[in-house]
Chain A
Amino acid sequence: SQQGEEDPQALSIQEGENATMNCSYKTSINNLQWYRQNSGRGLVHLILIRSNEREKHSGRLRVTLDTSKKSSSLLITASRAADTASYFCATDPMNTGFQKLVFGTGTRLLVSP
């Protein structure tokens, strides 16, 4: 399977703490994206980082990408209870067709008040 791996599978923290999730993938990519899913509902796009970028910020989110290690991390700073959700990385592999995303296994984040 080409599916990416994420760790940890589950993460439980207190409000105000930072949360870090890691994603590893298997093939060369055009870009890597992070999505959030609340309680088995639709996915919300968080951030996209292209293969020639190393770091990107969006509000409380910081994403890094290391293409030599085929890995990425998502950092959520000053977490809130509303950040409780599942987080998925998704890669857009090279040479597989336009936007055919491959999703990682996901991290379930629980932020307690």
Chain B
Amino acid sequence: SAVISQKPSRDICQRGTSLTIQCQVDSQVTMMFWYRQQPGQSLTLIATANQGSEATYESGFVIDKFPISRPNLTFSTLTVSNMSPEDSSIYLCSVGTSGTQETQYFGPGTRLLVL
């Protein structure tokens, strides 16, 4: 298994500002993912963070709004840019294991409220 931490755990931000969320893993992992969970909803995949290359975004999510960095195999950041109240969500990072284990391990999430 992998131990994942996220910073900050929660934040309250003003509209128009940006917030960068950090995800740190205690071991080197190949796959890192970022999800959004809107209030009372399920999780939606934002993007796959690829080490050494640009992130791969899912339909409905764009790099200008959610820039992602993945400088090494244990760390990634997600920035929520030019925030609006509709961006109020829990943002979770997860890591995938390679080989025969397909389980994903999730961080504790970052709860974001945009006023």
Contacts and interface: CB of A to CB of B under 8 A. Distances in A.
A45 B105 contact: yes
Nearest to A30: B102
B89 to A, nearest CB: 10
Interface string A17-33: 00000000000001101
A42 B106 contact: yes
Interface residues of B, number: 25
A106 B42 contact: yes
B108 interface: yes
Contacts of B90: 40
Which residue, of A90, A92, A101, A105, has the highest number of chain B Cβ atoms within 10 A? A101
A35 B105 CA distance: 10
Interface of A: 3, 30-31, 33, 35, 40-45, 48, 88, 90, 92, 97-106
Which are the 9 A-B pairs with shortest beta-carbon distances?
A99-B96, A42-B108, A43-B106, A103-B43, A42-B106, A103-B42, A45-B103, A105-B42, A42-B109
